[in-house]
A = this chain, B = another copy of it.
Amino acid sequence: MTTTDRRIPVGVLGPTGYTGLELLEILARHPGMRTAYLASARTPAPRIDAEFPRLLNRLGPGVSAECGPIDHDAIAAVCRLVFLCLPHEAAMEHTPALLARGVKVVDLSAAYRLRDPAVYERAYGHHHTDVANLERAVYGLTELAREQVRGATLVANPGCYPTAAALALVPLVKAGLIRPDSIIVNANSGVSGAGRAPKPNLHFPEANENFSTYNIGVHRHQPEIAQSLGRWGGAGAAGMTREPLFVPHLLPVERGILETIYAEPARTGLESAAVQACLREAYAGEPFVVVRDEAPTLRDVQRTNAVHLCAKVAHGRVVVVAAEDNLVKGASGQAVQNANLMLGLEETAGLR
């Protein structure tokens, strides 16, 4: 805006979905970034405050509500970093061009999350069209990949469910406290996780006062969770002869994820205190991970970038309860957390 505005200019591609809206609300309060370009694939490009009237007069100083086209040169001319809130295929299409123009990318789609393109193709049902950048991409589960994120030009922002699951499980697997082949992630998400497009099962009179499972054991986030356990679980992940079983459920709430995770202890006599101590040690000093004595609720984390964890041993099983906001730590908040690191800003900037 003015010559004294030292905030770093960033862009948002695909701002008309829920992750886009959440990102714009975070950026409006961010002391170190400003939204310099909004790009939409729609024709005509919408005003974002017509799309989301709650943004009227609230985009922050000097930020225009007008969306422009997805024009790589125009974007590169004004942005040092862009957030991609696009479909997977579009993300693979635009990322190479943006990187080539020196623009850093935080991709909120799944395009660069799974290291193995064959696994990607099985999970997402289409070919990976930018395998070249898969190796370059840093999987941005910030607490576990902080240093790589700092140096990254392309960050694959983790999926919502896998963020909570990996943060809950990696320390326990790595410490050898649980049997990796016994893991069941019983997950529950608010409806915003399913996106903004109306669908019969998300019609208010259907989803309201309702609750259901979906994609039992075949959800695309299952291999992503397995990948994180393999990558960060150390020797403890060696026995993962079966992938964790991932069973998502749809909650009649706008937002939030709560996962109740079950596993067999790797040794007899394991007690709650030891499991909690393992988590506390793993996340000591972390600004956004809170290990608590009581199981968290959705409300404790909604509209925050926090993940709350609580583990117990009950009737011989380890039970971990993990809660996060699917649109914040599970998407746009973690994206900003990653962008902060990529741009040399304070990691927590704009996220408190």
Query: Which residues of A pack against B, CB within 8 Å?
Result: 18, 28-29, 31, 53-54, 56-58, 60, 184, 186, 188, 190-192, 196-200, 202-214, 216-218, 222, 242-243, 245, 247, 249, 251-256, 258, 260, 262, 287-288, 290, 292, 294-304, 306, 308, 312, 314-317, 319, 321, 352
Contact = CB atoms under 8 A, between A and B. Distances in A.
A203 B204 contact: yes
Given A258-B211, A297-B210, A18 B54 contact: no
A55 to B, nearest CB: 9
Contact of A287 (B57, B186, B197, B256): B57
A297 B201 CA distance: 11
A188 B184 CA distance: 16
A297 B254 contact: no
Contact of A312 (B196, B217, B251): B217
Contacts of A308: 53, 56
A302 B255 CA distance: 14
A210 B301 CA distance: 10
B202 A296 contact: no
B56 A290 contact: yes
A211 B58 CA distance: 21
Given A245-B262, A352-B58, A208 B191 contact: yes
Contacts of A57: 287-288, 290, 306
